[in-house]
Structure 1
Amino acid sequence: MSHPARSPQGSPPPPGSRFFAPILAGATLRERLVACLGALIGIGLTAFISGLFVKHAPDVPLIAAPVGASALLLFVIPSSPLAQPWSIVMGNTVSALVGVGVAQLVKDPLLASGLGVSLSIAAMSFTRSLHPPGAAVALTAALGGPAVAASGLLFPFVPVALNSLVLVALGIAFHRLSGRAYPHTAPPAPANTHRTQDPPAAARTGFQPTDIDAALEMLDETFDIDRGDLIRLLRQVELQTTARLHGALRCRDIMSRDVVSVGPDEEARRARFLLLDHNIRNLPVVGEDGRLQGSIGLRELADAVGPVGPAMSPAATASPDQPAASLVPSLTDGRTHAVVIVDAERRVLGLITQTDLLAALARTVPAKAETAGA
């Protein structure tokens, strides 16, 4: 008796996934279709543009075969450390140089192939340009063949480096047009904005970078993800878990509704008076149409004169139906003291301060503690 295929977690695959079961986390059918289009355009134009440079050397190949594998990484997983511009260009080029050098010194094809691949991995590792197709480039160069013979000692530069540079340039343009960020840059770690030695508030609880190092050491595996992205992913998992555990608590449930605000033409001294008189840290800046324009606090008002409009800063906002726990990252970043709750047209509905959120979340602790101790 046959049984339906099951996912690694033991649950049946979702309907329609039999012919598309992504093996990469976060992959979707749309992403794959975009990647296919990118590879079509990227490889086609790379061959065309490279051909313009070698049109007077008909024996030189338009494109090196391993560049196709580079296109896969570039368009399918552009956030991978192995798919960044330096890895693609330097990884392919230095590997081709290694392969050509091995071919010149070692005549035995079996030994040359092994040395070419292994030494290219070492060279890419030392130059921080690890790129899997680079090993294929080294193998191609070490074994020789018509493509290498036609280019001679220029093979690492034409077609390999040329192909790589053109492909990366096209990849950057394609990703920008499709709304992706490439080259990929991992977000910086949270910083203490108060210029003290303490870690930022968001980094004092939950897992620590040392926990990630210990976990990686225990697993004893290498993962294709930047360490900064791994930290960001785990922080988001913590946030999602917190929002799920406190999902019943919405922003509308805890927000202050009698919001003290100022207009953009209000004088700075009037804004300072309101902050001190109401013992608050931020004032929403609201236009005549009732829509939120920004936020003003003592930091911005320290040296401000005249209207508050030029001194205001962007305001952190949320919707009334958003889980209250989702405001934790904003209200613990060391800069934001309040989040303005707005509707779809940015009309101010309320305000949630750090105190509001702390008081609301603290109410859930005794109930959970009593449940755990029962």
Structure 2
Amino acid sequence: MIQRPIFAPILAGATLPDRLFACLGAAVGIAVTALAAWGFFTLVPDLALASLPLVVAPMGASAVLVFAVPASPLAQPWPVIGGNVISAVVGVTVAHWVPNMPLAAGLAVGLAILAMSLSRSLHPPGGAAALTAVIGGPAVFAAGYEFPFLPIGLNALVLVAAGLIYHRFSGHSYPHRPVPAAGHVIPASSLIPHPEDIDKALEDLGESFDVSREDLDLLFAQVERHAAARRGSVRA
């Protein structure tokens, strides 16, 4: 029986040290984000922002992506910053033009997905940012179009900066680059799928996967490398 790593059913490629390191990274990242917001609000007091939280809830979800799955296309700097800010702008706009709360909530999230998709900044916590702009209460409504930038934009910028610094020590690339780890060699083989074949296969499946085409290409190359090594050991 094949013994799988404890986190294999949850996240392919995950290891326990990676998850522990992600826990520490998220803790540090959110704490630094809150501290930066506190410092900014202290230096630049504003009545419209006084009652807003230092850190908005969507940043907790963003931290999971940045620190636990930094290779995800959804966790890259532009989706984290652009996705949250753009979605919040959508949410504020909907909140000001649609007085019906249930309808506004649905429209905000739906239109945020559309806006993120068109701007190539799809980021799941963006949906929460749009929803927060609608259901956040009087303080968020009063802040208006300041809300997407303070605190959301500031939070996202600091969180990304924390991720950039933290992953210099984690062993993972961030922003992610599809390159093999040190000491691993990609074999030259005709059995490795052509990138266009990968695109066509993904189109055939009709699903969106949280992995880039370049990472799939690298993965197939590494699979061929290990398969070749296994075939050689079997023949020996």
Q: Fold match, TM over 0.5? A: yes
Q: Per-residue displacement from partner, 1:30-71 (whole Å, max 9, x unpaired)?
A: 111000000100001100111111123431320111111000
Question: What is residue 218 of structure 1 aligned with on the other side?
Answer: 204
Counterpart amino acid of residue 216 in structure 1:
L
Question: What is residue 87 of structure 2 aligned with on the other side?
Answer: 95
Question: What is residue 193 of structure 2 aligned with on the other side?
Answer: 207
* 1:136 pairs with 2:122: no
- The within-5 A match list for 1:265-344 is none
SS at match of 1:151: helix
Question: What is residue 53 of structure 1 aligned with on the other side?
Answer: 40
Asked if the contact 1:61/1:147 (under 8 Å) is kept, the reply is no
* 1:109 pairs with 2:95: no
Among 234, 254, 257, the residue aligned to 2:220: 234
Counterpart amino acid of residue 227 in structure 1:
R
Please give the alpha-carbon distance, in whole angstroms, between the structure 1 residues aligned to 2:193 and 2:2.
32
Q: CA deviation at 1:205?
A: 4.4
**May I ask how many residue pairs the two structures share in their alignment?**
225
Asked if the contact 2:199/2:213 (under 8 Å) is kept, the reply is no
Deviates more, 1:208-217 or 1:36-45: 208-217
- The within-5 A match list for 1:157-172 is 157-172=149-164
Please give the alpha-carbon distance, in whole angstroms, between the structure 2 residues aligned to 1:173 and 1:39.
12
Question: What is residue 198 of structure 1 aligned with on the other side?
Answer: none
Please give the alpha-carbon distance, in whole angstroms, between the structure 1 residues aligned to 2:139 and 2:233.
61
Quick one: higher RCO (CA 8 Å, sep 6+), 1 or 2? 2
* 1:69 pairs with 2:56: no
Asked if the contact 1:187/1:228 (under 8 Å) is kept, the reply is no
Q: CA deviation at 1:249?
A: 7.7
Is the radius of gyration larger for structure 1 or structure 2?
A: 1
Question: What is residue 25 of structure 2 aligned with on the other side?
Answer: 38
SS at match of 2:114: helix
Counterpart amino acid of residue 41 in structure 1:
V
Percent identity, please: 54
- The within-5 A match list for 1:151-190 is 151-187=143-179
Please give the alpha-carbon distance, in whole angstroms, between the structure 1 residues aligned to 2:139 and 2:226.
52
Please give the alpha-carbon distance, in whole angstroms, between the structure 2 residues aligned to 1:155 and 1:238.
49
Question: What is residue 274 of structure 1 aligned with on the other side?
Answer: none
Q: CA deviation at 1:221?
A: 1.2
Q: CA deviation at 1:185?
A: 1.9
Greater share of residues in helix: 2
Counterpart amino acid of residue 228 in structure 1:
E
Please give the alpha-carbon distance, in whole angstroms, between the structure 1 residues aligned to 2:98 and 2:136.
11
Q: CA deviation at 1:90?
A: 0.4
Question: What is residue 74 of structure 2 aligned with on the other side?
Answer: 82
Q: Per-residue displacement from partner, 1:117-143 (whole Å, max 9, x unpaired)?
A: 011011101111000000110011123
Query: Using a 3 Å threshold, how does the CA distance of structure 1 residues 101 and 219 change in structure 2: closer, same or farther?
Result: same
* 1:123 pairs with 2:115: yes
Among 11, 15, 24, the residue aligned to 1:24: 11
TM-score, normalised via structure 2 length:
0.87
TM-score, normalised via structure 1 length:
0.56
Query: Using a 3 Å threshold, how does the CA distance of structure 1 residues 22 and 33 change in structure 2: closer, same or farther?
Result: farther
Question: What is residue 243 of structure 1 aligned with on the other side?
Answer: 229
Asked if the contact 1:59/1:150 (under 8 Å) is kept, the reply is no
Please give the alpha-carbon distance, in whole angstroms, between the structure 2 residues aligned to 1:151 and 1:170.
26
The gaps in structure 1 that reach 5 residues or longer are 1-10, 189-200, 251-374
Asked if the contact 2:192/2:220 (under 8 Å) is kept, the reply is no
Asked if the contact 1:93/1:161 (under 8 Å) is kept, the reply is yes
Q: Per-residue displacement from partner, 1:299-345 (whole Å, max 9, x unpaired)?
A: xxxxxxxxxxxxxxxxxxxxxxxxxxxxxxxxxxxxxxxxxxxxxxx
